[in-house]
Structure 1
Amino acid sequence: MQNVWAKRIVAGKSLAVYYLQSEAEKCHNLYGKSSRSKDIKFASHLFLVKENDVFVFGMECIVYKKSNKRTIFVAKVDSSGLGTQAASSSALAASAIETVINAQYEEGAAEVEVTLFAISQSQYLFPESSENGHKHVLSDAGLLHWWVKCLEMVRKDYYPAEEQCSEATVNRNSEDVSAEKKKHMAYMFVPGLPSLRSYLPNSFWKQGTALQEGKAIEMIPRYPDDPKARYLYEIQDQRSEMSVAEFWDTLSFRQECCSGKLVGFYSLSLPKHTVEAVSSRKKNFDFGLVLPPKLYRIIYDSLLKRSFRSLSIASQSTETFLGETIAAIQRVNGFSMDKVVQTIEGNAKPVSSKKRDPEPPQALNVLQPRKKKK
C-alpha cells in the first residue's frame, strides 16, 4: 500500500492517509426489479488525507460485490484547497482507487471495474471549503479532463500496453470490440457531445459505454445520487422495453444531462494479475479498519457537519473530527491505529513549475450532496 501512495507524493513530503470501511450489506435495488440485483452486497470506503494538521483531500468509494466480480463506484471526491503541492489531487485520487482495487483482488475477485460519473460542483466532503480563498473549482470540461488524467494513471499501473487496442478501436461501436479487449478498456460518455476526441489520450480509451445490450431497466445500474437513475425509474414505471442503446441515445435530452453542464460517465475494466497488485498485496492487507455500517454512517455524516471555510477553522474541524472518530472506533474488533492511519513518505521527483499542471488544490466532485434521511 505504501508504494501506491509514495510514488505520487513529492520526495521530502509526507501525508497522513486515513482509511475506514463499512461491513458489507445487502443491496437489493442496484438494477431495479431485475433479478440481476439478487445477491449483491455493498461496502463503503472512506479516505481522508491530512497534511500539516488539516484535511486536504477526501474520497468515498462504494464497492458492489457479487460472486467474484467487483464494481468500484467512486461516489464523492473533494479537496479542501489547503494542500501545499505535496501531491496533486488527481494523484491522490488514483492512489485511493488503487488501494481499493488491490484489496478486492486480495479478497479473491476475478474481475474489477471502476465506474463513476462526473458533475462539477463546489464542495461535498469539506463543507464551506469553497469560501476559504484557496480552493479553485474546476469547470465541467475541466473536470472531465481531470478524470481522464486520474483514471489514466490507474490504467497505466494495471495495463501499460496500449498497442493492444488500435486507433480504429476508439471510434468503433462497442459491439465491434472483442470481449477480451473490453476487459482492458476505458470508456467515456458525455451526453450531448458527439465527439470526445480532445479528451481521449490514447487508443486504450473509447468514446461510449461498455454496456450496449439488453433492456435498460434490467442492465443499467442505479448508483446513489445518480443523474440517470430518475430516468430509469420512469422507464420502469412505464414498463418500457427501451434498450440499453436507446437509453444512452436519449439521455442527452433529459434535464439531468442538458441543463447547461456537461456530465461525464466513465468505466475502467482491469485485469487481475498485475505487478502493482502483487507488489502491494502484503502491505495493503492490514490497512483500512472495517466498521459496522451504522457506525460508519455516523462518522461520515459527522464529517459533513464540519466547516473548512478558513485554514484555522479547517484545522480545528480536522482535529475535532479525528478526536471524536478515534474515540468512537476504539472498541471496534481489530482496532489499531495502523489500520486507521498510515504516514506516507513521498519518493516522487518534484515537477518543475514550468511543467506542472495548472492544478492548484481544487474542488473535485462527482455527485450531488447526499440527502439526509427523513
Structure 2
Amino acid sequence: MLVDDISEILPNNHQFRLLFIKAEPKQCNPIIKHHSQHSNFEKSIESIKLKYFFLLIDVKYEVIVFGLEVYKYFEISSERSLQYLFVSKIDTTGLLDTKLNVGNLVTKILEFLIDSSLHETTIKYRLKIKTSSTMKKINKLIDRPMSNYKTIALPPLTKFKLSLFTKSSNQYFFPESSKNKHKHLIDGDQLLKWWIKTIDPIEFTAKKLLIPGSLSGSQYLLPGWTRGSIFGKDEKCVYNIPNFPDDPKTRFLEFLIIENRYKSNLSQFYEELGFRQEFRLGNVVGIIGCESDWKPVNDKVGDDFQPIVLTNKQYKKLMKLIKYEDFSIMDDIKLLTNLKLPFFLKLYNKEINNTVINGKFIYKAKTAPTEIKVNNLTGLVKRRKK
C-alpha cells in the first residue's frame, strides 16, 4: 500500500496529503522506430502513452512541498508488452523546513507504479482521430467531441525499462522556488549520486549509467551497477534510441535525422552526444537506464490508492496552473493548494483524495564524533644533558 509505505518515511508528527493525477492513456507513435534486423524486440501492434503526476501537500501549513512527473509508454505485441517509464521532472518547493527524505519518497512511488502495472490486464485508451484540420476546427466550434476509445487486453508478460537523465537545475516545475531558503540545491555531481542511491533499492535485472563525453563514471556506481546503456549494444541508433519528451538523446537523434546521419551506430551516437551543449557546461550529466526481467501480469487486486484521471487537455491546463505560480510567495501557494486546485478539479467533476497520511519516521540528528584526547607524554620524558 503506497499510503502505508510512505507514512513510514515521512517525518514523524507531520501530516500530509498525496495528490495522484493521471492523464488518460492515448494512442501514440511507437516510442522506438522498429526495424526487424536492428531492433531487439518484435514490432508492436499498439503504442500507448500516459502521464502520472504526484503532489505532496503539508496539511498543517497547507502548501505543496514536493512534485514528481513520470511518463509511461506501452509497446504491446501479441504475447508481450514493454513498459517504458521516463522520469520527466522532480522538484521541491523549499517553503518549509521539513526533514523530508525525498529520495526514499521517489523510490516508493516508482515501486508503486511498477507494482500496480503488474495488475493491469486491460487498458482503455483514446484513439488518434485522423481527419483534416478544417474538420477539427468545425467540430471544435460546434463543441462536438472527436474522441474514440478502445479497450485492449494486455499480454501475459511485461518488462519495465526505467529511464532518466540527471541534469541539475535550480527548479524544474515550481517557478521561483529556488529563492526559498529551505530548498536544497545541489550540483550535477551530487545529483547523479543522489539518483543512483534513489534507484538502487528498486528491483531491476540491469542498472546502467552512461556519462556522455566522459571515459570515467565508475566512481558513481554501487554494487550491481555497470557502465553502459539499456538501449541496444552497438547497432544503429535510429532503431534503438527512444523518443522521450525533453530528453537530450531524442533531441540529438532528431538532429542526426535532419543531417541524414541517423544510421550512426550507438557508440558513435553517444560519443558525439558528449559534445552537445547539455554535457559541456562543466556540470556532470548522467543517463540512467534500468531494466527488469519479463514479469507475469495478473488480475490480482492491487493498491487501492487510485488516481484522479484527466483528459490530456485537462492535464495540460493543470500543469499550466501550477507553472504560472510564484512559489517563493507562501500565501500564493496556500491559495493554489486550498482554492485553485480544488476548484479546477471540480470544474471536471473530480474530487481530491483527502486521505491524511501520518508521518512515522523519527529523524535522528547526526552527532559529532567524540573527541579523543591524546595524552602528551613529552613533558615526562627526561632529556640527556648536553
TM-score (norm 2): 0.75
The structure with more helix, counted as a fraction of residues: 1
Q: Does 1:316 align with 2:316?
A: no
1:82 pairs, out of 95, 99, 115, with 95
Gaps of 5+ in 2: 37-42, 122-156, 369-386
From the CA coordinates, give the structure whose radius of gyration is larger.
2
Match of 1:49 in 2: 56
Equivalence for 2:378: none
- Higher alpha-carbon deviation: 255-264 or 126-135: 255-264
**Equivalent position amino acid for 1:346 in 2:** G
**What's the secondary structure of 2:220's corresponding residue?**
coil
- How far apart are the structure 1 equivalents of 2:286 and 2:347? 37
CA distance in 1, matches of 2:181, 2:162: 33
Classify the secondary structure of the residue corresponding to 1:261: coil
Letter in 2 for 1:344: I
Cα deviation 1:100-155 (Å, max 9, x = unaligned): 212211214621121111111111221111122322321111111111121123x2
The equivalent residue for 2:287 is 265
Paired amino acid for 1:190: I
In structure 2, relative to structure 1, the CA distance for the partners of 1:301 and 1:113 (3 Å cut) is same
1:208 aligns with 2:228: yes
Q: What is residue 141 of structure 1 aligned with on the other side?
A: 189
Matched AA of 1:41: I
CA distance in 1, matches of 2:338, 2:35: 45
Runs of 4+ in 1 over 6 A off after TM superposition: none
CA-to-partner distance for each residue in 1:178-215, whole Å, 9 max, x for gaps?
Answer: xxxxx61211111123222321121x111121222421
Matches of 1:8 and 1:113, distance apart in 2: 26
Question: Residue in 2 aligned with 1:298?
Answer: 317
For 2:357, the equivalent position in structure 1 comes to 344
Question: In 1, Cα distance between the equivalents of 2:272 and 2:367?
Answer: 43
Which has the higher relative contact order, 1 or 2, with Cα contacts under 8 A spaced 6 or more apart?
1
Question: Identity over aligned residues, as a percent?
Answer: 24
Unaligned runs of 5+ in 1: 159-182, 356-374
State the Cα distance separating 1:304 from its structure 2 match: 0.7
Match of 1:93 among 99, 106, 109: 106
In structure 2, what is the Cα distance between the partners aligned to 1:57 and 1:272?
32
* Cα deviation, residue 314, structure 1: 2.5
Question: 1:139/1:38 Cα in 2 relative to 1: closer, same or farther (>3 Å)?
Answer: farther
Deviation at 1:285, TM superposition (A): 3.9
Of 12-21 and 282-291, more deviation after overlay is shown by 282-291
Counterparts of 2:158 and 2:69, CA distance in 1: 23
* TM-fit CA distance, 1:62: 0.4
Q: CA deviation at 1:72?
A: 0.7
Displacement after TM superposition at 1:293 (Å): 1.3
User: Taking structure 1 as reference, are residues 287 and 194 closer, same or farther at Cα in structure 2, changes over 3 Å only?
Assistant: same
Aligned partners of 1:302, 1:318: CA distance in 2, in Å? 11
Query: 1:150 maps to what in 2?
Result: 198
Question: Alpha-carbon deviation of 1:3?
Answer: 2.8
2:7–2:361 Cα contact (<8 Å) kept: yes
| TM-score normalised per structure 1 | 0.77
**How much is the aligned-residue C-alpha RMSD, in angstroms?**
2.7
Distance in 2 (alpha carbons) for counterparts of 1:242 and 1:190: 19
